[in-house]
Amino acid sequence: MTFEEIYQIYSPRVYRLCMGYVNDNSWAKDITQETFITVWQNLGKFRQESSVGTWIFRIASNNCLRQIERAKKSLKSELPAEIEEKFSDDNSEQEKLLFRFISELEETDRLIISLELEELPQAQIAEIIGISEGNVRVKIHRIKEKILKKFQQHEQLQRHKTTLA
């Protein structure tokens, strides 16, 4: 498989994975680009011990975690008190909420649900995360329940605001 084919297949999926982590359009694009630079540089060294997708998602996950750590270490006083989230016009309101709710999860849960949304087999998710496939199934179920609860709370809040208006 050529780099171009790999990029065509995996770049949208890696971008969505990154959005699940960072919940910021431009940041997710930067991490996606960084991921594919790493893939390009190391494609010749890929030993095919796992699938190319597993390898790429592991690189992307590590890049996301590194970027989050860097952001945590940067001086908070230099950041504005509130950062406005920016999304491209092609994201629906439901997608925006989903990315926001995913970004509020713990790091491992963010990765698991993002990979699940990319329809990766649970065995592959288990390999990327380093946990058993059974544990992945349980975690996915619990994460979906958390996200569903957040959607329900959001809906109730919206109804309450409409009632007050």
pLDDT (average), residues 73-81: 42
Distance CA 103, CA 18 (A): 10
Residue 86 has pLDDT above 50, yes or no: no
What percent of the chain clears pLDDT 70, i.e. is strictly above it? 87
Residue 114: pLDDT band (50, 70, 90) is confident
| Cα-based distances in Å from 101 to 12, 21, 48, 136 | 20, 10, 34, 19
Least confident of 9-13, 81-85, 154-158: 81-85
Residue 72: pLDDT band (50, 70, 90) is low
- Looking at this protein, which amino acid is placed at residue 30? D
Q: Which domain holds residue 122?
A: 3-164
What percent of the chain clears pLDDT 90, i.e. is strictly above it? 36
- Looking at this protein, which amino acid is placed at residue 112? I
Q: How many beta carbons lie within 10 A of that of residue 6, not counting itself?
A: 19
User: Which pLDDT belongs to residue 50?
Assistant: 79
At 42-67, the pLDDT tens digits run 988 888 877 898 899 989 988 988 88
Name which residue leads in pLDDT, 7 or 49: 7
The reported pTM is 0.62
> How many domains is the chain built from?
1
